[in-house]
Amino acid sequence: MNNLLTILIAMVIVNNMVLAKFLGLCPFFGVSKKLSNAFSMGTAVTLVMLIASVSTSVIYNYILVPYKVEFMKIVIYILVIASLVQIVELTIKRTNIMLYNALGIYLPLITTNCAVLGITLINSAENYSILESTVSALGAGIGFTLVLIIMS
């Protein structure tokens, strides 16, 4: 439990995706002008990070490593992230058209947000379990959202 709290705090503050790793700058500069848009974008990115981290952790630990095809992880991670972003985009479009219009082009750009790919690769490099990957992604998402809100 102590290790999970350490991972969470480290990802929110110390290893912040925007401030420490300079990842996710495109939506940071594009959406952080208005507080509601910043919060919504941060929430969408956090959701994608969480689902992508769990999915890629399962794929990495139970498919790529046992079959010794770890070299395929970047391609597979990008496919997983692109699929998840499409699902999130369709969900937002159907549930809140005003938010969908406010986020504009930045919503599909979550696919190319290097912070999302970065957290999945960091989780693999750190050899995190599924739970640790989830906590790491949650911390990265919270940190990303905090920076967006502070700068809006």
What pLDDT, on the 0 to 100 scale, is given for residue 32? Answer: 63
What pLDDT, on the 0 to 100 scale, is given for residue 118? Answer: 95
What pLDDT, on the 0 to 100 scale, is given for residue 123? Answer: 96
Q: Give 13's Cβ-side CA count (13 Å radius).
A: 6
pTM of the complete model: 0.89
Contact of 40 with 103, CB cutoff 8 Å? yes
Angle at CA of residue 74, ends 113 and 110, nearest 5°: 15
Mean of all residue pLDDT scores within the chain: 91
34 vs 42: CA distance, rounded Å: 12
Q: Does the pLDDT at position 25 exceed 90?
A: no
Q: Does the pLDDT at position 34 exceed 90?
A: no
List the structure tokens of 66: 């046992």
Q: Which helix (H) or strand (E) holds 28?
A: helix 25-31
User: Whole domain around residue 116: which residue ranges?
Assistant: 2-151
List the structure tokens of 57: 């952790």
How many separate domains does the chain show? 1
Least confident piece of the model among 82-96, 103-117, 138-152 = 103-117
